Amino acid sequence: MGDLAIETAGVGKRFGAVHALRDVTLSVPRGTVLGLLGHNGAGKSTLVNILATLCPPTSGTARVAGFDTVRQGRQVRRRIALTGQFAALDERISGRDNLLLVARLLGAGPRAARRHAAERLETFDLTAAADRVVRTYSGGMRRRLDLAASTLGDPEVLFLDEPTTGLDPAARITTWRIVERLAREGTTVVLSTQYLEEADRLADTICVLASGRIVATGTPAELKARVGGRVATARLPSAAAVPAVMRALLEQGLGPEHDPGRGVLAVPVTGPRDLANVARVLDAHAADAYELSVTSPTLDDVYLSLTQQPVAPPRAAVR
Ligand SMILES: Nc1ncnc2c1ncn2[C@@H]1O[C@H](COP(=O)(O)OP(=O)(O)OP(=O)(O)O)[C@@H](O)[C@H]1O
Ligand SMILES: [Mg+2]
């Protein structure tokens, strides 16, 4: 099927008057992880659903695993799996029986199905709960079971629509490890998320969607580089030292800024020499400075600069 797992050209989707997607053109090399990032209603699920053949685009074309999602839907479906935004499990039967059911539906014989189910339960850390009815599972366990079911058919392309929304930090990290392992083993993964940290950790390429359009594409590092470089910050308790510090930093060719309200000095730096100069100046003129640190732009900064819309709840203030 060539080197691309996914290739779209000018994909658009309208729901009546709502333009859910416009002119989405992207390509995803095999064995890579694509992160779809965007606010509520940006079009992430719509794009995932089109690629997974659940709905046709109103314009443009999409190929997945080498086949056209509209004309060759059956071939596409044979090679993909989808874990939706809401888990699709039978609540009334056990986790093991859910997996057995899916394995049999995928064509495995009874023995092979038992073996595959047991393997997946082990991998997804569900062996202890395997024979409990799913109704008694926590949200994180359901997600893991859903993921386990999705991987039963050894899909070439796995679509994960917000796989960690609503999970606690431990369950989120477990899910990340699973995605990382699948990617290492060669599965192409398309993952939609509202968590920038998640896209940063997992995605080889990030596609930022806003109001149905792609507003940026690149590696996490490329996207971060777009909003600027590193900044050294320090807290200066005494305002009296500020003028001398600012003057000395300017003499070093640096561009310091001081926020008197928070007592924070911020200096864009490009390398260790700049940082050493900042440290020397503080040592000479403001010995009581503290919390000298270097921060890189986060994907939050990227996202905000691209869309002017917050995506995740604000992080708790860190002291
Ligand atoms: N079946 C539908 N009928 C009408 N409008 C729809 C339908 N599905 C999606 N939309 C609209 O298309 C737009 C994109 O929705 P979509 O579900 O793709 O967003 P999303 O990025 O997945 O959002 P979320 O983060 O909330 O899951 C929204 O305006 C939504 O209301
Ligand atoms: Mg969605």
CATH of the domain at 281: 3.30.70
Same domain, 50 and 194: yes
Please indicate whether residue 187 or residue 306 has the higher confidence score (pLDDT): 187
Q: Does the pLDDT of residue 314 top 70, yes or no?
A: no
60 vs 39: CA distance, rounded Å: 23
Residue 316's pLDDT is 39
The amino acid present at 243, given as its one-letter code, is P
What is the distance in angstroms between the CA of the first residue and the CA of the last residue of the chain? 51
Same domain, 47 and 193: yes
Same domain, 144 and 242: no
Same domain, 38 and 177: yes
228 vs 297: CA distance, rounded Å: 7
Mean per-residue pLDDT, 121-146: 91
Q: Does the pLDDT of residue 35 top 90, yes or no?
A: yes
200 vs 88: CA distance, rounded Å: 27
Same domain, 149 and 285: no
Residue 310's pLDDT is 45
Residue 314 inside a domain? The answer is no
When mean pLDDT is compared over 26-35, 132-141, 177-186, 221-230, the highest value belongs to 26-35
SS3 breakdown of the chain: % helix, strand, coil, rounded to 5? Answer: 40, 30, 35
Distance 179 CA to ligand 1 centre (A): 25
Residue 306 inside a domain? The answer is no
- Length of the chain (residues): 319
HSE of 131, CA atoms in CB hemisphere, 13 A:
1
Residue 315 inside a domain? The answer is no
Residue 194 inside a domain? The answer is yes
Same domain, 70 and 186: yes
Residue 25 inside a domain? The answer is yes
Domain's final residue, options 225, 247, 262: 225
Number of compact structural domains in the chain:
2
Cβ(36)–Cβ(209) under 8 Å? yes
Decide whether any atom of ligand 1 lies within 6 Å of the 308 Cβ.
no
Distance 45 CA to ligand 1 centre (A): 7
Cβ count within 10 A of residue 6 = 23
165 vs 98: CA distance, rounded Å: 22
Closest-approaching ligand to the CA atom of 20 = 1
Same domain, 159 and 289: no
Same domain, 194 and 248: no
Cβ(176)–Cβ(198) under 8 Å? yes
Residue 87's pLDDT is 62
**Ligand 1 atom nearest 16 alpha carbon:** 4
**Ligand 1 atom nearest 13 alpha carbon:** 12
Domain that residue 235 falls in: 230-295
Residue 91's pLDDT band (cuts 50, 70, 90): very high
Decide whether any atom of ligand 1 lies within 6 Å of the 84 Cβ.
no
Ligand 2 (ion): residues with CB under 5 Å are: 44-45, 85
Q: What is the CATH number of the domain that holds 55?
A: 3.40.50.300
Same domain, 277 and 213: no
Distance 123 CA to ligand 1 centre (A): 33
Same domain, 141 and 239: no
Closest-approaching ligand to the CA atom of 49 = 1
Domain's final residue, options 173, 206, 225: 225
Decide whether any atom of ligand 1 lies within 6 Å of the 45 Cβ.
yes
Distance 87 CA to ligand 1 centre (A): 18
Same domain, 126 and 199: yes
